[in-house]
Structure 1
Amino acid sequence: MITPQQTAQPEQEKRLAARAALRWVRSGMLVGLGSGSTAAFFIAALGESIRQSDLQVQATATSLASEALAQQAGIPLVEPRRGLRFDLTVDGADELDAQLRLVKGGGGALLREKVLATASDYLLIVADSSKVVTQLGRFPLPLEVVPFALPWVLDAVAALGGAPVLRSMKNDSMEAARSDQNNFLVDCHFEAVPEPERLALHLQGIPGIVEHGLFLGLAQAAVVARGAEVLVLQPGKEPVAAASFSIPL
Structure 2
Amino acid sequence: MPTELSPIDKAKFVAAKKAVEYVEDGMRVGLGTGSTAAWMVRCLGEMVREEGLRIRGVPTSTRTAELARDVGIEVVSLDQAKWLDITIDGADEFDAELNLIKGGGGALLQEKIVATASDQMIVITDASKEVDTLGAFPLPVEVIPFGWQTTQALIEETLAAMDVMGRSASLRMNGERPFVTDEGNHILDLHLKRIGNPRQMAMILNQMPGVVENGLFIDICDTVVIGYGDGKTQVRDINAGTIEENMLEFVESENLFSDLSD
Same fold (TM over 0.5): yes
Q: Where do 4+ consecutive residues of structure 1 move more than 4 Å?
A: none
State how many pairs are aligned. Answer: 234
CA distance in 2, matches of 1:22, 1:205: 36
* Superposed counterparts of 1:69-84, under 5 Å: 69-81=67-79, 84=82
CA offsets 1:164-201 (integer angstroms, 9 cap, x no match):
000001xxx32000101110011000100121001111
Gaps of 5+ in 2: 1-5, 161-166, 249-262
User: What is the percentage of aligned positions where both structures have the same residue?
Assistant: 38
Determine if contact 2:14/2:228 at 8 Å carries over to the other structure: no
Residue of structure 1 equivalent to 2:258 = none
* Superposed counterparts of 1:20-169, under 5 Å: 20-81=18-79, 84-159=82-157, 160-161=159-160, 162-169=167-174
- Residue 240 in structure 1 maps to residue 238 in structure 2: no
Residue of structure 2 equivalent to 1:3 = none
- Residue 181 in structure 1 maps to residue 179 in structure 2: no
Deviation at 1:238, TM superposition (A): 5.3
Q: Describe the SS at the equivalent of 1:147.
A: coil
Deviation at 1:83, TM superposition (A): 7.0
TM-score computed with the length of structure 1 as normaliser: 0.90
Deviation at 1:82, TM superposition (A): 6.7
Deviation at 1:243, TM superposition (A): 6.8
Deviation at 1:227, TM superposition (A): 3.1
The alignment's C-alpha RMSD in Å is 1.7
TM-score computed with the length of structure 2 as normaliser: 0.86
Residue of structure 1 equivalent to 2:255 = none
CA offsets 1:104-134 (integer angstroms, 9 cap, x no match):
0000000000000010000000001111111
The code of the aligned residue for 1:68 comes to E
Residue of structure 1 equivalent to 2:212 = 210
CA distance in 2, matches of 1:200, 1:152: 19
Gaps of 5+ in 1: 1-7, 245-249
Determine if contact 2:27/2:85 at 8 Å carries over to the other structure: yes
CA distance in 2, matches of 1:31, 1:215: 19
Determine if contact 1:100/1:234 at 8 Å carries over to the other structure: no
